[in-house]
Amino acid sequence: MKRTNDGGQRRIVVISTGGTIASRWQGTGYAADASGDDVLATAPLPEGVTVEVVDLFNVNSSRMTSAHQLALLRTVQETFADPGVDGIVVTHGTDTLEETAFLLDLHHADSRPVVLTGAQRPFGTGDGDGPGNLYDALQVAATVRDLGVLVVFDGRVHAARGTVKTQTLAADAFSDPSAERLGRVGFSRVDIERQPERPAPLPLPAAARTADPGATGSATTPLPRVDIITHHSDGDPFLLNAAVAAGARGIVLVATGAGNATPEIAEAVADAVAQGVLVAVTTRVPAGPLAEIYTGGGAVDLVASGALLTGTLRAGQARIALLATLLAEGTTGAGDPARSTALLRRLLEGPVRVEPALATGGSRSASAVAARA
């Protein structure tokens, strides 16, 4: 479906993937089944915007797979092959939105924006937040440039990197616990308050060209296994070793504090790294960076064992960085450990400032940011 507001000047493509924004009552609970056209029909269009809809797939985001995400990545890049497209909005479930947004951002080299949004309340409910979020996302997609992939939710604009779901049910579902929001949107105005920091973008991985989510999220090419293991009181290496035995090519260790575990886990990390497994250490603490402070199984020992610290990235996005690294190196088995480690370090720790942050819709704050750069 195509919808045009009077004087349609900005062409935005909406890619629908399901989630709460597309979920209707199924008798025992809600599940995604509304089409992208149905979802779009609930929202007014910003002035001067033309919208086209692509129904890519329709799943609850807790069922999202890497194959789904790679198919979306390919679709985004294919859509931008059309120079007449001014921006993309992706409607997505909130459970894994942070992972999908980060994967797209790691590969996003275009000046045109990709904006992810969704809803906390289901499709068609009287107090639904989906229509407002979609309107805001369209407004942002038609306005900003050179900001990478964004998350727009509840009137706030967030950079993909570092943004996570921080509320299970509240309308203000997303934030970066370690950084300020990127901007805000409201009253037909987009205000960008700072510039995001992003590593140099990766090329489209070969796996994205063959990814086919189909009915089950399968892919024509096996994807590297990347697992997440959480440390806790009484934590031991059993699950980490089990992940290695299961064929994991990457492991995210969710440590305590600023990145701490036990000597036994540090030894298991060293064994995994010796087998060519990439290991990244994040923390179960909501905000703040990791740091090499403690020995006795702490971050000092984990880094000495060959693990990399994830900065302020938390588990879901750290896993995406590992996956992107493995896909970039073409490794579904053993690859070049030194090369993979260097690339992963860049994705985790080496963002570069993106300039300029320009808006085409007369945003005062966006222009001010560019002037300060």
Residues marked active site are found at 20, 94
The contacts of residue 8 (CB under 8 Å, 6+ apart) are 48, 49, 50
b/e map of 326-348 (b: 16 or more CB within 10 Å)? bbbbebbeebebeebbebbbbbb
Give dist(CA 275, CA 260) in Å, integer: 22
Q: What gap in Å lies between CA 98 and CA 174, rounded to an integer?
A: 9
Q: Residue holding tokens 């904006």?
A: 115
- Contact status, residue 211 vs residue 201, Cβ threshold 8 Å: no
CA-to-CA dists, residue 172 to 66, 89, 260, angstroms: 26, 19, 31
Structure token pair of residue 332? 């579904």
Across the strands, what pairs with 255?
283
